[in-house]
Structure 1
Amino acid sequence: MTPSTSHSGAPHAHHHGHDHHDHGTPDQQDGLAEVLDLDAELFAPYLTSVTARVADAAGDGGVTQVVDLGAGTGTGTFALLERFPGSRVTAVDSAPDMLARLAGSARAKGLGDRVRTLETDAGTGLAGIEGVDLVWASASLHHVDDPAAALAGVRAALRPGGLLAVAEMDGMPHFLPDGAVAERPGLEARCREALSALHAERLPHLGADWGTLLTGAGLTVEQEHTEHLELRAPLPASAGQYAHLVLSRIRDALDGRADPADLAALGTLLDGGPQDVRHRDDLVVRSTRQLWVARRPADGS
C-alpha cells in the first residue's frame, strides 16, 4: 500500500508487499517503491476516506501513539500523521532500504521528530512496543506465516480500547479493456487466475477472512467495509506507468507458470510499442479494497 500496503494497498506479484520475507534485488526494491507511491497517488481519495473511517472509530479518545505495520514507503505513515495531528508513528518494516527512504521523506516533510522506524518482521511481534492507540496494517498481515501469532503480538501492543485497522485488497488490479490484445482475448483474466494459483502457494493468507481472525485474537470488530474502485479516462500519465510496473512484475512472477503466448502478449503491452500501456488512452484501473477496524476490549481482557 498496499491495497502497502503503508498505503491504500498495492498490487501483488508473489514478491510484492510492504513487509515480506524476500524483497528481491535492489532493482526490484526500487520498482516496488515506485509501485507503492503511484498506487498511493492514484487512490489518494480512498486513503483519505479510509483514515477518516478509522478516526471516526477512534472518536474523542485521542490517538497519539501509532504503529504502521509494514510501512513500505510511508504512505500510511504520512496519511495518519495528517489525520491525527498530535500523533507520533512507529514505522515497522523488514526492509532497511524502505525504512531509510521513509525516514528521509519524513525529514524532507519536516516530520522527522514525529516518526521513528523499527526494522522487524510483522509476524514476529512488536517487542518493546506497548500502550499503542492505533496499529495500521495495510497489505502486510497476509504476508505473515502465522496470522494468529501476529495478531496476538499486535493485541499485546495495543492499549485497552486501542484500535487495529487492517486494509487489504483482492489481488492485482485490472487495467485492460476487452480486446486490448485482439489475438489473446481474456489475457488479463488468465494472468489473474495464474497469479492467484501462485499466491495460494506462497501467500496462503491473501484473501483471508480477517474478521474471523481478528475475533479469534480477542479483538472486537467494529467496522467491515468493501469498496470497488474504478478510475477511467482521462487518467493522469502516472496511471500508464503504474500499469506498466504492475504488469511487468506480474510477467516476471508468471515466467514459466503461464502460457508462453500469454507472456508474449503481455510483452506487447510493455515493450514501448503502440500497444504499450504507457501509451494507451483506454486503460481502466479497477481494484477492490477491504477494511476491518477492530478494538482491544477496554477492560484489558
Structure 2
Amino acid sequence: MTHDHGNHGHGHHAQGGHHHDHTDIDWTTMAPLLERQAEVQGPLYREAAAWLGTLVPVSGVRRVLDVGSGPGVITCYLAEAFPDAETVAVDGTPELLARAGARAEARGLGGRVSTLHAELPEDFARMGEADVIWAAESLHHLGDQRAALEALAGLLRPGGLLVLVEGGLTARRLPRELGFGRPGLEARLDALGAEWFGEMRASLPGAKAEVDDWRALLASTGLVPAGTRSFLSDIPAPVPPVVREQIVFQFERTRQSVDERLAADDREALDRLLDPSAPDSLHHRTDLFQLVARTVHTARKG
C-alpha cells in the first residue's frame, strides 16, 4: 500500500500486485511523483499533523503507524509531530520503504523511524498496536474498506486516534481558458480520472461499494469521531520550478492513464501542454498555480 496524495486517476496508495490492465499502478515508478507531491504540500501535512496533537496528548503517543507510507515524506512529518514516539512506515513496496528509511536517516530521525513491509489486507495483524494510525488515501485501494477500518480500529490502544485522509477538493493547476483548445480541459480530465478510479475500485479483490461517509464508517467500527478538518495548499502563479516539475509529471501520468478516453481535440491540447518546445506548454506558462485541499477524518478509541 502506498501514498499517492493526488486525485482520483491522476495518482491517488495501493497494494502492489492487486491491480491489473489499464488500472495497474507501478508504485516504484511513481516514487518521484509521490515524493514531490508530499514535499510541495509539506505545509499542509505538517499543519494536519500538528492538529492531531490537539486531539491526543503528544507526550503520551509512543507508537505511530503510517499505513501506506510510500517513500516516507509524511512519515517524517508524523515523527516530528510526535517526538516521543516510534513511527513506523508501513508499505507493500520494498523500494519505497528503502526510500522512507533513507529519508528518515537523512533528517536525523533514523533512531525513531522504522519500516515494515506488509501486504494488506492480509498483514494487518503484523503491524501491531499503536497510539496513532495514519492512513492517507490508502483505504480506497482496499476492496472492503469497512473491514479495513475495523482491522485498523482493532490495532488502536485505548485513547488512540485513527486518522484517515480521504476526499477534499480536486486539485486545480490550470486556468479554464488556455488560449487553445476547448475551455475547461482540466475539469474534463478530472471526469475521465473519476471513471478510471471507479474501474480501479471495481477491479480490487473483494471490492464492496460504500458511501464515502467516512465519519459514519469510523463510528461503525466502535470508534468515536473526534473531528474532521480540511487543509489547504495554495501555491499561486507563477509557481517555483519544483512545483512546475511536479505538475508536468502529474499531467504526463494523466495522459497515460486516460489516453484511450480522450477526445481528439483534448488529446491535441494535452500534447501541446506537454511539449517542452511549445511556448504555451506547462514547461513555460506563467499562469500555472496549484490549489489542493485534503480532508482529514479522525476517530478515537474509548
Q: Which residue of 2 aligns with 1:194?
A: 192
Paired residue secondary structure (2:298)? strand
3-state SS, counterpart of residue 54 of structure 2: helix
2:44 corresponds to: 46
Cα deviation digits, residues 176-208 of structure 1 (max 9, x gap):
112115222121111111111221221367982
Q: 1:279 maps to which residue?
A: 284
Decide whether aligned partners of structure 1 residues 125 and 17 sit closer, same or farther in structure 2, where only a CA change above 3 A counts: farther
Number of the residue aligned with 1:158: 156
* 1:19–1:95 CA contact under 8 A, matched in 2: no
Within 5 A, what are the aligned runs for 1:4-153? 4-5=3-4, 9-13=5-9, 16-22=11-17, 29=27, 31-59=29-57, 62-153=60-151
Between the aligned partners of 2:193 and 2:127, the Cα distance in structure 1 is 36
- Aligned mates of 1:49, 1:206 — CA distance in 2: 29
Instruction: Note if contact 1:179-1:185 (Cα within 8 Å) is conserved in structure 2.
Output: yes
Deviation at 1:217, TM superposition (A): 1.3
Query: In the alignment, which residue of structure 1 is the partner of 2:221?
Result: 217
1:11/1:133 CA distance change after superposition, 3 Å: same
Looking at structure 1, the residues matched to 75 and 211 of structure 2 have their Cα atoms a distance apart, in angstroms, of: 24
Distance 2:68 2:28 in 1: 16
1:211-247 deviations in Å (ceiling 9; x for gaps)? 1111111111111112454321242111111111111
Amino acid at match of 1:253: S
Cα shift readout 1:144-200 (whole Å, capped 9, x = no counterpart): 111111111111111111111111244752211121152221211111111112212
Equivalent position SS for 1:254: helix
TM-score scaled by structure 2? 0.87
SS at match of 1:123: coil
CA deviation string 1:46-79 (max 9, x = no partner): 1121011111101256111010000011112100
Secondary structure at the aligned position of 1:256 is classed as: helix
CA apart distance, 1:263: 1.8
**CA distance in structure 1 between the aligned counterparts of 2:6 and 2:247, rounded to whole angstroms:** 12
Aligned to 2:261: 257
Q: d(CA) in 2 for partners of 1:208 and 1:110? A: 38
1:292 aligned residue (270, 294, 297): 297
Q: Percent identity?
A: 33
Q: CA RMSD in A?
A: 2.5
Amino acid at match of 1:10: G
Measured after TM superposition, the shift of residue 125 of structure 1 is 4.7
Q: Which residue of 2 aligns with 1:177?
A: 175
Contact 2:39-2:73 at 8 Å conserved across structures: no
Q: Mean alpha-carbon deviation: is it higher for 124-133 or for 180-189?
A: 124-133
User: Residues 237-270 of structure 1, C-alpha deviation per residue, up to 9 Å, x if partnerless?
Assistant: 1111111111111111102122132122111111
Query: Quick check: 247-256 or 204-213, which moved more?
Result: 204-213
Relative to structure 1, the CA distance from residue 60 to residue 176 in structure 2 (aligned partners, 3 Å threshold; closer, same or farther) is closer
Contact 2:43–2:233 under 8 Å retained in 1: no
Q: Which moved more, 1:112-121 or 1:167-176?
A: 167-176
SS at match of 1:255: helix
Q: Number of aligned pairs?
A: 290
